[in-house]
Amino acid sequence: MQVKDSNRNRRDFGVLALICLVLQLALAPNVGIGSGRANFALVFAGITSLLVGGRPAVLCGFVSGLVFDLSSTGPIGLMACLLTIGSFAVGIEARNRLADDFRRSMATFAPFAGIVSVLYHLTMLLVGDASSLVDVIIRRALPTVILTVLGFAPFAYVISHATGSTLSLGGKPSKSARSHGSRYDLDSV
Amino acid sequence: MPRKGAPTSQSVLFRRSEAGGGLRACVVLVALSLVMFTMSVREGDTGGPLNAVRGAWMTVTTPVRWVGGAITAPFQGLGNVVANLTADQGRLSDLKRENERLVARNAELEESEQTARRLESLLGLQSLYNLQSTAARIISGPTDSWSSTVTIDKGTSSGFSVGMPVTDANGAIGQIVQCGATSSTVRLISDENSSVSAMVQSTRAQGILKGSVDGTLHLTLVRTDQTVEEGDMVVTSGLGGVFPKGLPLGKVLSVERTSGSLYYEIEVEPLSSAESFEEVLVITSLTEDQKATSEDVAEADKQDTAAGGTAPTGDATTEDDTVAAEGVADGTAAGDGDSAASGSDEAGAGGDGGE
């Protein structure tokens, strides 16, 4: 019998958020391609959007974006804004995709990461932090997207293959959640 | 009877109501983000509540950054190891010859140093690099892909503040742009938004050293009637009142002269690479002899006057308030009176002279 366990779901997502936070602060600054750095805030927002969507994903996108903004030297609120909109857009149609199919989740996340990164860097260009569009796209946005997608891949793989967790990383969906269109009951997150 | 798996009217209604809730949250949070974004852009890098929050966040997260830096430190030199393993015989021979030359040169300099010390003690002269500084350790690189910065493990509790210059063993590497209680962010001179007033050591040709996205440095606004050779040392001119005068910045890698142009295009090789930074010195104050003298300002004005005072307006300015002081000095060197208008007296005088 499947039992809805929203506390455990929250705990699982809390652990996921903590992992992404530590990776963003400890790993991302020290691993890069050229000027590009992995964006684990984007990874976290992508996972929540692809898993649960809706209001929880929007909140997670906003908070993770805000954390990214506070950790960086850029203007505060920019990444928060982009991840809020992105999480909402991805969460509308793509929920459950992460657990269903690794390839499809990657195919959904990559454009999401690309659009958010390019918009972020273009906005920075518009506020006068750079002079060359080519540099912004080729030297900054592209490496960032590549590293971020690489950072997302292990999470997507684990979530789509693991079993037994109520984040349901692969576990069978609860009846109630399935009937509501989501197998992950995170409305209480 | 509805088909198995087909959405029921109840589930469709649920989705619609949930999407509506998500949309409401999205609209509210986007509005909040835009307000913060606007405030942040207006605040710049100094003062304001958002910068205070960021400073507190930096302080709280310093241990995580420090641990990350410590864990990844052994891997930082991996690139050098691979490069060394794949070096060809010719390269190794060159390095051996270079090493022999440097050993000989080192012995010569040590002798000179002994002589200089004796003379200094006799004449009571202070060393040129009598830097009043505090040591700090780099604990992290840039968090985002946008800036070329490093984080050091000391902040306002150690007496640091925004704008202080930072050096390593080879010379100036950057300037503090954000300062928390226990950590600070240093914008490197290789950052695209960095500009430092500099000069060619041998000929005293004044210019502005600017960073770029690919990490190379460019010495701009050096007039083509000045003499600049490949291999020349580029040092800080001290005109901004931020960096001490005479700190090494890099070596001239290439000099190009475009016909019809008033200025050289000079590429400069930095003396330090970001990977080699471990311990750095934060210069907490400058002594009088480390600041540019009125003669230096007059010399900069003289160079600018000879160029006709046609330096491009705004080249020396940055949007960064903390770097603006240096940018103003750069304006002095370039004769950019507009950019010097709001600067220090010294810079202002130089700018006026340039006009």
Which of B58, B61, B144 is the best mutation test for A, with the most CBs of A within 10 A?
B144
Mean of the per-residue pLDDT values for chain B? 72
Which chain B positions have a beta carbon within 8 Å of A21's beta carbon?
Answer: 64
> A121 vs B21: CB contact, 8 Å cut-off?
no
Q: What's the pLDDT score for residue B276?
A: 60
Q: What's the pLDDT score for residue A62?
A: 94
Q: Give which of B259, B241, B158 is closest to B197, Cα–Cα.
A: B241
Tens-digit pLDDT profile for residues B287-301: 766 666 767 777 766
ipTM comes to 0.80
User: Which residue ranges in chain A fall short of pLDDT 70?
Assistant: 1-8, 94-100, 162-189
Q: Which residue has the higher pLDDT, B35 or B108?
A: B35
Q: What is the CATH number of the domain that holds A18?
A: 1.10.1760.20
Tens-digit pLDDT profile for residues B98-130: 888 888 788 778 767 776 665 554 444 335 566
Tens-digit pLDDT profile for residues B50-68: 888 888 888 888 888 888 8
Which chain B positions have a beta carbon within 8 Å of A25's beta carbon?
Answer: 61, 64-65, 68, 140, 143
> B146 vs A121: CB contact, 8 Å cut-off?
yes
For residue A74, being part of any structural domain is answered with: yes
* Cβ atoms within 10 Å of A172's Cβ, excluding its own: 10
- Provide the chain B residues 278-307 that lie in CB contact (below 8 A) with chain A: none
Q: What's the pLDDT score for residue B303?
A: 65
For residue A187, being part of any structural domain is answered with: no
Q: What's the pLDDT score for residue A175?
A: 42
For residue A183, being part of any structural domain is answered with: no
Domain span at residue A15 reads 6-164
Lowest mean pLDDT of A25-39, B263-277, B322-336, name the range: B322-336
Q: How many domains does the structure of chain A reveal? A: 1
Task: Return the beta strands (E) in chain B as ranges.
Answer: 132-140, 149-152, 165-168, 171-179, 184-188, 195-200, 206-210, 217-220, 233-236, 248-256, 265-270, 279-285
Task: With a cut of 80, say whether residue B144 has pLDDT above it.
Answer: no
- The DSSP string of B89-113 is HHHHHHHHHHHHHHHHHHHHHHHHH
Task: With a cut of 50, say whether residue B1 has pLDDT above it.
Answer: no
Q: What's the pLDDT score for residue A79?
A: 92
pLDDT band at B321 (very low <50, low <70, confident <90, very high): very low
pLDDT band at B30 (very low <50, low <70, confident <90, very high): very high
Which chain B positions have a beta carbon within 8 Å of A62's beta carbon?
Answer: 29, 32-33
- For residues B151 and B282, give the distance between their C-alpha atoms in angstroms, rounded to a whole number: 12
For residue A177, being part of any structural domain is answered with: no
pTM of the model: 0.61
Q: Which residue has the higher pLDDT, B86 or A102?
A: A102
- For residues B206 and B197, give the distance between their C-alpha atoms in angstroms, rounded to a whole number: 8
For residue A178, being part of any structural domain is answered with: no
For residue A157, being part of any structural domain is answered with: yes
